[in-house]
Amino acid sequence: MNYLIKYQSFALLEKYINGIKKDFSSEEISNYDLEENTLSEVLEDLNTYSLFSVKKLIIVRQIMNISDTDKDYKLLIKYLENPNKDYTLILTDDKLNNVRKTIKEIKKHSKYIELNNDPMGYLNEKLKDYNVSMLTKNMILDYTNNDIDSITAECNKLYEYKEKGSTIDENDIKAVCYKRMDDYTPLAFSLTSSIAKKDKYNAIKTYEEFKKYNVDDAALTGLIESELRVLKIISKMKDLGYSDKEISENRSISDPPISEKRIYVMSKVLAYVSEKDINELINSFYNLDLSIKNGTNISENPLELFILNIK
């Protein structure tokens, strides 16, 4: 079976793929990323028989990197037309462009799946082992602006804070989760921008400005993480050719929507950072946020220390 998957959230993609993975052992699963691997490596795997198992699950990410001028592209199409019945091939990308010639051809010979956001449905699944009222669930969605990846991050914090089978209420959300502070957004992005550019001087200067407002490091860390997630979405939409106006009108990013002016300002940072850099920063700030809130980070000013250690 061949799958072609377009997704809006990494968390949703992993959930879907994990549902397929359960039918395979770890030895039967191969992972490729066309930012790092070549299509030739994927084809070699598809045409190689294992001595230990008949089955194979081959997952290939970032397939928008495939070009129709690549000689291996034609070999891939040839395989898709006559796939090995014992192999499962998953081709996926969050920037999938269905108009592109390569994708249209791949789609002809694959089961096409588009994973769309359903914030409440996803939250229900994440918290199925806990007692959570609808009021509390709506509070979580409000805190996360209905963003699937943010819901995942906040639920992971709640897992650390509460045991399975227990009740999660509004006090727990206030204690562990981060709520975006829109009043501080311009200043927050100034700090986020300086950190992304590794500009320690301006990052510390902006950090000290925040301290005048008595914003603690836990709240500020969560705010920066949220800004980075917005920046990541803007980067992806820019790559797909969306204008600042079209991005501004997309309420899946933020509701109320982000102004065109702010999108223009945020986009300037993308000249200094790659998508990989943004993902690494998001992960770093998620871990920093969690360590502050669960008490494992006992530094007096953990965010300041993080900035000073930027390399």
pLDDT category of residue 48 using cuts at 50, 70 and 90: confident
Examine the fold and report which residue of 65, 82, 115 is the final residue of a domain before the chain moves on.
Answer: 115
Q: What is the pLDDT of residue 82?
A: 92
Structure tokens at 204: 């510390």
d(CA 227, CA 69): 38
- The residues, ordered by sequence, that sit 6+ positions from 302 with a Cβ below 8 Å of its Cβ are 217, 221, 288, 291, 292
Query: Which helix (H) or strand (E) element contains residue 7?
Result: strand 2-7
For the cut 90, the answer to whether the pLDDT of residue 5 exceeds it is yes
For the cut 90, the answer to whether the pLDDT of residue 238 exceeds it is no
240-282 per-position pLDDT tens digit: 888 888 888 776 666 556 778 778 888 888 888 888 899 999 9
Same domain for 135 and 209, yes or no, is no
Same domain for 248 and 267, yes or no, is yes
Same domain for 303 and 221, yes or no, is yes
**Residue 147, domain CATH:** 1.10.8
Q: Which of 92, 166, 151 is nearest to 117 (CA)?
A: 151
Same domain for 111 and 8, yes or no, is yes
Mean pLDDT score, 57-63 = 93
Our count of domains for the chain comes to 3
**Residue 245, domain CATH:** 1.20.272.10
pLDDT category of residue 51 using cuts at 50, 70 and 90: low
Mean pLDDT score, 276-301 = 86
For the cut 60, the answer to whether the pLDDT of residue 181 exceeds it is no
Same domain for 12 and 110, yes or no, is yes
Q: What is the pLDDT of residue 30?
A: 92
For the cut 90, the answer to whether the pLDDT of residue 127 exceeds it is yes
Same domain for 225 and 132, yes or no, is no
pLDDT category of residue 90 using cuts at 50, 70 and 90: very high
pLDDT category of residue 116 using cuts at 50, 70 and 90: confident
Q: Which domain holds residue 73?
A: 2-115
Helix (H, G, I), strand (E, B) or coil at 132: strand
Examine the fold and report which residue of 135, 152, 176 is the final residue of a domain before the chain moves on.
Answer: 176
Predicted TM-score of the model (pTM): 0.49
Same domain for 188 and 222, yes or no, is yes
141-166 per-position pLDDT tens digit: 888 877 787 788 889 989 999 999 99
Query: Which helix (H) or strand (E) element contains residue 148?
Result: helix 148-161
Examine the fold and report which residue of 158, 176, 194 is the final residue of a domain before the chain moves on.
Answer: 176
**Residue 10, domain CATH:** 3.40.50.300
Tell me which DSSP letter residue 162 carries: S
- Looking at every residue in the chain, the average pLDDT score rounds to 86
Same domain for 103 and 123, yes or no, is no
